[in-house]
Amino acid sequence: MSGRSSAGVRSASATLVAVSDISTTGTDAARTVNAVKVYGKGDTAVTALDGISVEFGRGEFTAIMGPSGSGKSTLLHCLAGLDTLTSGEIFIGDTELGSLSEKNLTLLRRERVGFIFQAYNLVPTLNAEDNITLPLAIAGRKADPEAFDDVVDSMKLRERLSHRPAELSGGQQQRVAAARALVSRPEIIFADEPTGNLDSKSGLELLAFMRKAVDEKNQTIVMVTHDPGGASHADRVVFLGDGKVVHEVTEPTTEAVFEVMKSLGN
Ligand code: ADP
Instruction: Kindly report, residue by residue over 195-248, the tens digit of the pLDDT.
Output: 998 899 999 999 999 999 999 999 999 999 999 999 999 999 999 999 999 999
Q: Is 214 helix (H, G, I), strand (E, B) or coil?
A: helix
Q: Where are the domains of the chain?
A: 59-85+96-263
Q: What is the pLDDT of residues 106-149, one digit of tens each?
A: 999 989 999 999 899 999 999 999 999 999 998 889 999 999 99
232 lines ligand 1 (CB under 6 A): no
Give the E-state strand segments of the chain in sequence order: 28-39, 46-57, 61-65, 87-92, 95-96, 113-117, 188-192, 221-224, 236-241, 244-250
What is the fold of 59-85+96-263?
A: Rossmann fold (3.40.50)
Distance 187 CA to ligand 1 centre (A): 26
Fill in the DSSP letter of residue 42: G
Question: Looking at residue 26, what is its pLDDT?
Answer: 59
C-beta 68 within 6 A of ligand 1: yes
The SS3 of residue 97 is helix
Helix (H, G, I), strand (E, B) or coil at 171: helix
Output the residue whose Cα is nearest ligand 1's atom 5: 71
CA 252 to centroid of ligand 1, rounded, Å: 26
Within a 13 Å sphere around the CA of 115, how many CA atoms are in the beta-carbon half? 20
Q: What is the pTM of this model?
A: 0.88
3-state secondary structure of 219: coil
Average pLDDT over the chain, rounded to an integer:
89
